[in-house]
Amino acid sequence: MSNNSLRLVWVYPDLLSTYGDQGNALVVERRARQRGLDVSRVDVRSDQPIPTSGDIYLIGGGEDRPQRLAAERLRRDGGLSRAASNGAIIFSVCAGYQILGHEFINDLGEREPGLGLLDVVSTRGEGARCVGDVLGDVDPNLGLPPLTGFENHQGVTHLGPSARPFARVRLGRGNGTGDGTEGAYNDTVFGTYMHGPVLARNPLIADHLLKLALDVNALPPNDDRWYEALRAERIAAATQPA
């Protein structure tokens, strides 16, 4: 990419866009434009090929059958995997997060192959569904403030040796494994169970994606008063006694 342009791809909004996850694309696009970047955003439906020339790819959550259809089409298309091999940044939520792993349990109760872009395997939990606000500490290596979001999933995601936990929860279930982990990432591929949309609640994560795409260590300052007010409100709501 050039120093002042960004190619943003929102993957399968017709299948994977629950709980306001499209807001993640809106946040990245807006924060890029506020820094003077020329943003070209493409919303790619499930009957269209995935372009391989994007800089940042965003994938949302979805119900069980749309998740299976999305995984089938992404495997057959191959564009997202090729983009990842080219160094593109990928940020995924919930069902999208599971698809990026090695496998998950589909709506037929069968093991469905994922894309293998994250070293994780997802199964279906046997206990209560993971629902509610989450507060956690992002991996210190990423230099980001505490994570706030909303989870609603039955899945349990186990991390393999090459995946790092995106965060460790203080409140909430996260990956559902009981070990306190939430999400996973490697150098350029990120997954989380957090809705919210998560990048509206955590704008510095969006900035981190931009810095990776631009290959810079810092971005020009931005007016974050609205975002900080939202963060403070949701963190306070999550930590108040029931």
Instruction: Output the known binding site.
Output: 129
d(CA 151, CA 93): 10
d(CA 69, CA 15): 8
Would you call 94 a catalytic residue per the annotation? Answer: yes
Q: Which of 102, 153, 158, 195 is catalytic?
A: 195
Binding residues for substrate: 129
63-78 in b/e burial notation, b at 16+ Cβ within 10 A?
Answer: ebebbbbbbebbbebe
The residues, ordered by sequence, that sit 6+ positions from 181 with a Cβ below 8 Å of its Cβ are 159, 165, 166, 167, 168, 169, 174, 175
Would you call 102 a catalytic residue per the annotation? Answer: no
With helix as H, strand as E and coil as C, how does 57-69 read?
EEECCCCHHHHHH
Q: Which of 94, 102, 158, 208 is catalytic?
A: 94
Which residues participate in catalysis according to the annotation?
94, 195
